[in-house]
Amino acid sequence: MGLYENLADNGSCDGDDVGESNQVVTQNIPDNNGERRPVSLSPETTAVNQASGNNYLNTEVSTDNLGTATAECIRVCKERDLGNPVEILKCAQKFILQGRPLDVTSLSQPLDGETNFVCIDRYQVLKSAKEELNDIENPRLTLEVSFYGEAANDAGGPRKEFFRLCLKEIKDKYFGNGLNDLIAEEYEFVGMIMALSILQNGPVPRFVPEEILQQVFSDAPPGPCIAELRKGFMKLGLYEIAKSLPLFVHLMRPNDANQLSRKQLVFLLKPSFSEEGTNARKYENDVYAAFTKYVRESAGGKRGSITLGCILQFATGLDEEPPLGFELQPCIQFVAAPQNNKWSFIPTANTCSATLFLPKGSYDLPLPTEKELFEVYDFAFSNSYFGLA
What's the pLDDT tens digit per position in 116-135? 999 999 999 999 999 999 88
- As a whole number of angstroms, the distance between CA 347 and CA 70 comes to 43
Average pLDDT of the chain, as a whole number: 84
Q: Residue 41's pLDDT band (boundaries 50, 70, 90)?
A: very low
Q: Which helix (H) or strand (E) holds 270?
A: strand 270-272
As beta bridge partners, residue 48 has 98
Among 32-46, 172-186, 354-368, which is the least confidently predicted range? 32-46
Q: Look at residue 20 and give its three-state secondary structure.
A: coil
Taking residues 360-376, report their average pLDDT: 93
Taking residues 262-283, report their average pLDDT: 95
Domains of the chain: 44-255 (3.90.1750.10), 258-381 (3.30.2410.10)
Encode pLDDT of 176-218 as tens digits: 999 999 999 999 999 999 999 999 999 999 999 999 999 999 9
Tell me what pLDDT residue 106 has: 76
Q: Residue 298's pLDDT band (boundaries 50, 70, 90)?
A: very high
Q: Are 77 and 90 spatial neighbours (Cβ–Cβ below 8 Å)? A: no
Tell me what pLDDT residue 115 has: 94
pLDDT value at 299 more than 90: yes
Encode pLDDT of 334-344 as tens digits: 999 987 778 89
- As a whole number of angstroms, the distance between CA 105 and CA 93 comes to 16
- As a whole number of angstroms, the distance between CA 84 and CA 317 comes to 26
Phi, psi torsion values for 235, nearest 5 degrees: -60, -20
> Strands of 35-36's sheet, edge to edge?
35-36, 348-350, 355-360, 331-336, 270-272
- As a whole number of angstroms, the distance between CA 18 and CA 265 comes to 23
pLDDT value at 43 more than 70: no
pLDDT value at 49 more than 90: no
Tell me what pLDDT residue 340 has: 73
Q: Which helix (H) or strand (E) holds 85?
A: helix 85-96
Long-range contacts of residues 206-210, Cβ cutoff 8 Å, at least 24 apart:
206/252, 206/253, 206/254, 206/255, 206/258, 207/167, 207/171, 207/175, 207/254, 208/175, 208/252, 209/175, 210/253
CA nearest neighbour of 236 among 172, 182, 290, 193: 193
Tell me what pLDDT residue 62 has: 62
CA nearest neighbour of 43 among 285, 342, 385, 346: 342
Among 30-34, 141-145, 159-163, 307-311, which is the least confidently predicted range? 30-34
CA–CA distances in Å: residue 360 to residues 30, 128, 315, 338: 18, 39, 17, 10
- As a whole number of angstroms, the distance between CA 44 and CA 101 comes to 8
Encode pLDDT of 63-103 as tens digits: 789 999 999 999 999 999 998 999 999 999 999 999 999 98
Tell me what pLDDT residue 386 has: 62
- As a whole number of angstroms, the distance between CA 306 and CA 308 comes to 7
Encode pLDDT of 229-243 as tens digits: 999 999 999 999 999
CA nearest neighbour of 74 among 322, 250, 248: 248
Question: Cβ contacts of residue 277 below 8 Å, gap of 6+?
Answer: none
pLDDT value at 358 more than 90: yes
Tell me what pLDDT residue 34 has: 55
- As a whole number of angstroms, the distance between CA 194 and CA 171 comes to 10
Tell me what pLDDT residue 381 has: 95
Tell me what pLDDT residue 36 has: 54
Q: Residue 388's pLDDT band (boundaries 50, 70, 90)?
A: very low
Q: Residue 12's pLDDT band (boundaries 50, 70, 90)?
A: very low
Q: Which helix (H) or strand (E) holds 349?
A: strand 348-350
Tell me what pLDDT residue 275 has: 94
Q: Are 388 and 151 spatial neighbours (Cβ–Cβ below 8 Å)? A: yes
